[in-house]
Amino acid sequence: MNIKKILLSVLLAAPLLLTGCSSSSTLKMEKPKNVILVIGDGMGVPQVYTSVVAQRDRNSAFLLFPFSGFSRTYSRNKYRTDSAAGGTALTTGHKVDNKHVNWGPDSERYNTIFDDAVAQGKSTGFVVTSSVLDATPASTYGHVPYRKMFDTLSLQMAQCQHSVMIGGGGKYFETSNRKDGLDPLDTLSKRGYTVVNTLDEMRKFRGDRLVALLYEGDPLTAPSRGNMLEVATRKALDILNRNSKGFALMIEGSQIDWACHNNDTAYLRAEMADFERVLDAVLEFAERDGHTLVVVTADHETGGVTLPSGDIEKGENEVKFLWGSHTGCMVPVFSYGPGAHVFSGIQENVDIPNKIRIVMGL
C-alpha cells in the first residue's frame, strides 16, 4: 500500500468534514463508482486488535484506513442480533427480527443496496467463506422469514441479479438433497451462468457470470483452505470491474464468527490473518482505481473476547472468551475512498447501507 496516498486522502477529506458536519445534504464529495462492503462476521474490536498486534512485522491493513467509527448492532426484537438480522441491517437499512432475512414484521420484502446498484446498471456479487446460503450472503439476495430455508434461498439465489457468487454449500443445489426436487443449477445454467466447483476452474474462468460452489458443505477453516478468499476476491473484482457503470461487492470473513463460537484462539488468529490478506487486496484495488468506496464492519461481536495481556514487540496477546455466543457490543467500522468520512462516529448498523446509498447516489 502507498501510505502517502492514503494520508493524502485524509487531508483532502478534511475540508469536507469541516464544511459538511452540520448537514449531510451540504456535503460536497466525489461520488464513488464502486462500493466494497467487507464484513467480518463476529468481529469486534478485540478481534481486530488481536490481528493488529499479530501483524508486527508489517502494517496491519486495519491501520491503513483513514476513517473509523462504531456500529450499534441490536436487531428489531433482540439486544443481541443474529447474522440474519445483522446482515439484513447492513444490506437493506432495516432492522428485522432475528432469523429473518430481508423480511419485515408484516412480511415486507426489503430492497438491498445491491438491488439499487443493479437498477443503476452496476454489477453485483459476493464472496464468502461459508455456504452461499448462509445468513450473511443470503442477505444480499434472499427474502425469507427463517434463515435456514435453504431450498427457498437456493432458488432465490438462482434467480437473483448478482454476476458473481462464490462460497460453499454445493450440496444444497443437488436435486438428491432437496425436498422440492427442483434444480437451481439448471436455472443458473439457463440464465447464462457458469458453475464451477474448484479454485482452478474459477481461476481459468473468463466470462462475466460466475457461480463458484467450491465446497459441498462449508469451506475448510483457515489455513486449510489456503488463499481461497483472497483468490476469489481478486477474481470477483476482475469480473465486476469490467462494467463501466461500476459495481457493488460484499465480501465476508464468515469463520471469524465460528472461531469465536468455538472459543478457539488459534482458529481466530488464522481467520483474522486471512481477513488481513483480503483487506490488502481490496485496498490495493481501491487505491489503484480511485473511485471505489470500501467499508469494513461486522454484523455483531461473538464470544465476548477480551485481551488481558500481551507483548507488542513479540506480536502476542492473551485471548479470553466470555462465552460461546454473540454479544450486544458495538463493532468497529473502517472506511476508505470517496465518501469514507461519513462512516465515522457512532452509528446504527442500518445507517451504513443508507450512507452508501447517499454517497453513491443509489
Q: Among 9, 60, 83, 123, which one carries the catalytic annotation?
A: 83
Tell whether omega for the bond before 223 is within 30 degrees of 0, i.e. cis.
yes
Backbone angles phi, psi at 272, to 5 degrees: -70, -35
Q: What number of other Cβ atoms are within 10 A of residue 262's Cβ?
A: 16
163 tagged catalytic: no
Cα–Cα distance between 242 and 305 in angstroms, integer? 41
The residue type found at 335 is: S
H helices then E strands: how many in the chain? 12, 14
| 164-168/194-196 β-pairing | unpaired
| 164-168/34-40 β-pairing | unpaired
The residue type found at 53 is: V
Long-range contacts of 181-185 (CB under 8 A, 24+ apart): 182/151, 182/155, 184/154, 184/155, 184/157, 184/158, 185/158
Q: What number of other Cβ atoms are within 10 A of residue 108's Cβ?
A: 12
The residue type found at 80 is: R
Active-site residue numbers? 83
